[in-house]
Structure 1
Amino acid sequence: MGVEGAVAGTSPAIDTSKPHPARMYDYFLGGKDNYEVDQEAAERFIRAAPEVRLAVRANRRFMHRAVRYVVAEGGVRQILDIGTGLPTEPNVHQIARAVAPGTRVAYVDNDPIVSAHSRSLLDDDDQTSVVLADLRDPRSVLDHPDVRRVIDFDQPVALLLVAVLHFVTEEEDPDAVVATLLDALPAGSHLVLSHATVDIHDDAREDAVNVYKNATATMNPRGRARVLSFFGDLALAEPGLVLVPDWRPDEPAPHGAPPIGIYGGVARKS
């Protein structure tokens, strides 16, 4: 997750020498916007953690439910989605606008291929923006003119950090990253966060996690208490921080489904 290209107007080259988490995620979802290096790494991950395809789909369904919640029940009409990944329909703006037409969305990712694909789909939509910037430099996100074009930070915002914060190491200070972002948001804003964990697997999925050591960002799964700490003093919506299939499910889990090692929660800034 490098900061290259975070400045408006730059056009960084797409690096295909190392797997990128966004492109691996696309492969897990069955997408085609990935390269051989991503596919090989993803297949190694699948061998070590066979439930990963079910997990990423469960995570995406959590995101769908959470977006509907913050728009319908939270009254939010603008969303800052950081670490958006490659476009997969329905995407955040489509989910939100099915509830409240006109909801504005700023998509942020640090992979140039994500930016290119998203821009090609959304160029004619003046209520969305696509920004190439890095979560680990939160001020570059908050101050980006294309974020400011669609997001009014005087009004409530839903901040989406969905399956992205586990790519920030402790040395990169994820607490400061989240705090900087939340400090910029007014009361009535919401945080939607999901995060990988190895709490539920006896082998800690060590072989799977190690696949990311050769990627553009390492994976750093965290325990429930550590993930919960990112919410600070925000008020968590029921049922609190739970595994993503258990967050306000709209259908029962399939019988015999494997455990999904991703926590998810939604909280409001009061």
Structure 2
Amino acid sequence: MTTDTPHPPQIDTSKAHPARVYDWLLGGKDNYPVDEAVGAQLPPEARDAARQNRQFMHRAAAWLAAQGIDQFLDIGTGIPTEPNLHQIVQRITAGAKVVYTDNDPIVLRHAEALLISRPEGATDYIQADVRQPDAILERARAVLDFDRPIALSLIALMHFVPDDQDAHGIVRNLVATLPPGSYLVLSHAASDLFPELAQQVTAEYAKGGIRLGFRTRPEVTRFFDGLTLLDPGLVTAPEWFKTTPAPAPEGSGIYTGVARIP
């Protein structure tokens, strides 16, 4: 386990951060009053969405590992909540390599303790923002072999990148660096499934200084342009499953999908 910590930035406890609000929604304790203030004003469905996101990640990562994928680039890692992605995939493929990336300094504090690989595999942690793809890719190449398939994981991340920050272009450029046979795993908050709830969530995050860019189904589908979207297609989080038993049906405002890079 290595971390990019030459001069770790200080944690700003005066402003809410998406990773810490997400931690609060999952019932974690690695957040501050400013984060709780945002989370506490969100509708109860926000907690469900956080749980559904996490469960989708578990199912998708396990399925990909079972298909032989042993390299993962997880951007927007969030505060580690066990089981983490590397624990999921290394149960199936002990030698799997996982590179985690997040832009919240608090994640860095937990990385060395909670993102520890099995001896056969490897984990790395990069302090960076998805809007800095070149920095992420440069560091990731030290761990991952970009001549072999890689799973790019963007879980509940891109709706924190509004359209004026070129969210679709960022994903397109990241995908373009991956070899054929790689995968894109993405979940994204919907603006059109429960519009009133989406507007409420967007407004509460905005009060905490966090901009959101929830998107419609066609807009989320664009992230997969040029890729082979796997069955069951672009569906809500509880509807995405492969070999595991079907999750219990429930409403969800989260789109999810897994696509193969031709």
Question: What's the TM-score bracket when you normalise by the shorter of the two chains?
Answer: over 0.9
Question: What's 1:173 paired with?
Answer: 166
2:202 to 177, 194, 209: 209
Q: Determine if the alignment matches structure 1 residue 114 to structure 2 residue 111.
A: no
Where do 1:158-197 residues align within 5 Å?
158-197=151-190
Question: What's 2:27 paired with?
Answer: 30
Query: Given that residues 19 and 214 in structure 1 are in contact (C-alpha distance below 8 angstroms), is that contact kept between their aligned partners in structure 2?
Result: no
- For residues 116 and 64 of structure 2, the distance between their equivalents in structure 1, rounded to whole angstroms, comes to 25
Query: Given that residues 202 and 212 in structure 2 are in contact (C-alpha distance below 8 angstroms), is that contact kept between their aligned partners in structure 1?
Result: yes
Query: Given that residues 139 and 180 in structure 1 are in contact (C-alpha distance below 8 angstroms), is that contact kept between their aligned partners in structure 2?
Result: no
Q: Which amino acid aligns with 2:128?
A: A
Where do 1:8-157 residues align within 5 Å?
9-45=6-42, 49-73=43-67, 75-122=68-115, 127-144=122-139, 147-157=140-150
Question: What's 2:256 paired with?
Answer: 264
- Partner SS state of residue 232, structure 2: coil
More displaced 10-residue stretch of structure 1: 15-24 or 123-132: 123-132
TM-score (norm 1): 0.90
Divergent runs of 4+, >3 A: 122-126, 214-217, 249-255
Structure 1: gaps (5+ residues): 1-5
| Aligned-pair CA distance for 1:210 | 1.1
Root-mean-square deviation (CA, aligned residues, Å) is: 1.9
- For residues 112 and 81 of structure 2, the distance between their equivalents in structure 1, rounded to whole angstroms, comes to 13
- Partner SS state of residue 99, structure 1: coil
Query: Given that residues 96 and 103 in structure 1 are in contact (C-alpha distance below 8 angstroms), is that contact kept between their aligned partners in structure 2?
Result: yes
| Aligned-pair CA distance for 1:102 | 0.9
Query: Given that residues 150 and 182 in structure 2 are in contact (C-alpha distance below 8 angstroms), is that contact kept between their aligned partners in structure 1?
Result: yes
TM-score (norm 2): 0.92
- For residues 106 and 236 of structure 1, the distance between their equivalents in structure 2, rounded to whole angstroms, comes to 24
Query: Given that residues 198 and 214 in structure 2 are in contact (C-alpha distance below 8 angstroms), is that contact kept between their aligned partners in structure 1?
Result: no
Query: Given that residues 21 and 215 in structure 1 are in contact (C-alpha distance below 8 angstroms), is that contact kept between their aligned partners in structure 2?
Result: no
Query: Given that residues 18 and 214 in structure 1 are in contact (C-alpha distance below 8 angstroms), is that contact kept between their aligned partners in structure 2?
Result: no
Kindly, what percent of the aligned residue pairs are identical? 45
Q: 1:123 to 1:96 in 2, by over 3 A?
A: closer
Question: What's 1:233 paired with?
Answer: 226
Query: Given that residues 16 and 35 in structure 1 are in contact (C-alpha distance below 8 angstroms), is that contact kept between their aligned partners in structure 2?
Result: yes
- Partner SS state of residue 267, structure 1: strand
Q: 1:229 to 1:209 in 2, by over 3 A?
A: same
| Aligned-pair CA distance for 1:123 | 5.8
Query: Given that residues 79 and 106 in structure 1 are in contact (C-alpha distance below 8 angstroms), is that contact kept between their aligned partners in structure 2?
Result: yes
Task: Render the CA deviation track for 1:141-193: whole Å, top value 9, x for unaligned.
Answer: 1112xx22321111110000000000001111012101111111000100000
More displaced 10-residue stretch of structure 1: 166-175 or 195-204: 195-204
Structure 2: gaps (5+ residues): none
| Aligned-pair CA distance for 1:211 | 1.6
Number of positions where the alignment pairs a residue of Structure 1 with one of Structure 2: 257
Query: Given that residues 108 and 130 in structure 1 are in contact (C-alpha distance below 8 angstroms), is that contact kept between their aligned partners in structure 2?
Result: yes
- For residues 208 and 167 of structure 1, the distance between their equivalents in structure 2, rounded to whole angstroms, comes to 12
- For residues 88 and 201 of structure 1, the distance between their equivalents in structure 2, rounded to whole angstroms, comes to 27
Q: Which amino acid aligns with 1:57?
A: R
Query: Given that residues 108 and 131 in structure 1 are in contact (C-alpha distance below 8 angstroms), is that contact kept between their aligned partners in structure 2?
Result: yes
| Aligned-pair CA distance for 1:103 | 0.3
| Aligned-pair CA distance for 1:202 | 4.3
| Aligned-pair CA distance for 1:264 | 0.2
- For residues 244 and 57 of structure 1, the distance between their equivalents in structure 2, rounded to whole angstroms, comes to 10
